């Protein structure tokens, strides 16, 4: 629905093909103290978008809807791919990291036992040398 606006002789009044608009109608939106009506100021975004249905042509709305739909579909597909990738990396890391961590712990334990045996052997040899010297 297109509306032509023509400038009238009086600067405060505009005339359209469909209806007349005057500054008096704008004054209806304002309260007694000159501030806009709180209902207008408290409109939600959804209410404002719903009001755009009358303003935006159907072809433009369809184009916007298809663009948003394809963007959402692409985002969902990307989420699925990323999720599968994270799953593969996480399970591969667990399958490799857990055995490696267990082997490192076992090797550390073995090295600790060897060091303890060396300390005990050196203490035993010191004790034997002290006993032999006495």
> How confident is the model over 31-45, as pLDDT tens digits?
555 565 666 677 888
**Mean pLDDT on 68-97:** 97
pTM of the model: 0.43
- Quick one: residue 28, left, alpha or beta (phi over 0 = left, psi -120 to 50 = alpha)? alpha
| 129 has pLDDT over 90 | no
Number of helices and strands in the chain (H, E): 4, 3
């Amino acid at each position: 629905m297109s509306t032509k606006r023509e400038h009238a002789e009086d600067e405060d009044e505009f005339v359209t093909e469909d209806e007349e608009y005057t500054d008096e109608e704008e004054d209806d939106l304002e309260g007694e103290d000159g501030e806009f009506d709180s209902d207008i100021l408290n409109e939600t975004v959804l209410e404002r978008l719903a009001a755009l249905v009358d303003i935006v042509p159907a072809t433009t709305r369809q184009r916007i809807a298809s663009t948003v739909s394809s963007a959402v579909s692409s985002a969902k597909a990307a989420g699925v791919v990323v999720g599968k990738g994270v799953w593969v990396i996480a399970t591969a890391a667990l399958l490799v990291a857990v055995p490696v961590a267990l082997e490192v712990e076992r090797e550390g334990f073995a090295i600790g036992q060897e060091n303890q045996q060396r300390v005990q052997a050196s203490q035993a040899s010191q004790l034997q040398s002290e006993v032999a010297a006495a």
